[in-house]
Amino acid sequence: MGMTFFIAKILGALYMVIGIGVLLNVKTYMKMMDDFINNAALIYVTGVGVLIGGFAIVLTHNVWVLDWPVIITIMGWSALLKGIALIVFPDAMISLTKKFITMRKTLIADIIFVIILGSFLTAKGFQLI
């Protein structure tokens, strides 16, 4: 269970900071997403990084339980699959990102979810709840 709390602290803090950053700077992050989809090398490098992060989580925390630690496992598998998709299907990922950019209300809702998830994982990681 020690690894669960360790990963929860890292992912929780990461999600909170990223979520708050995006929420406070929506226009800047929308521009970054637009820049991202126009840079093939960045898509590839991001895919490799996300794939490595996903593998790291899956290899150290492949815990399928009916409790909150399964969130970390799902996040790991999601990252692994996203990394694979960015590397193997970059054009499809570009197309999805273009659609996502046009849905500002969905972006805001997703970011609020990311902040809530990050807060939950941080609280669980530091055993505050």
**pTM of the entire structure?**
0.92
d(CA 81, CA 57): 12
6 close to 123: Cβ distance less than 8 angstroms: no
The pLDDT of residue 66:
97
The pLDDT of residue 79:
98
Angle at 73 between CA 68 and CA 77, to 5 degrees: 145
Contact partners, residue 73, CB within 8 Å, separation at least 6: 57, 58, 61, 62, 63, 64
Tens digit of each residue's pLDDT, the chain (129 residues) = 689 999 999 999 999 999 999 999 999 998 999 999 999 999 999 999 999 999 999 999 999 999 999 999 999 999 999 999 999 999 999 999 888 888 878 888 999 999 999 999 999 999 998
The pLDDT of residue 52:
98
The pLDDT of residue 105:
81
The pLDDT of residue 102:
84
Angle at 78 between CA 73 and CA 79, to 5 degrees: 100
The pLDDT of residue 51:
98
What residue has token string 């790291």? 56
Return the domain boundaries, the chain. Answer: 2-124
The pLDDT of residue 65:
96
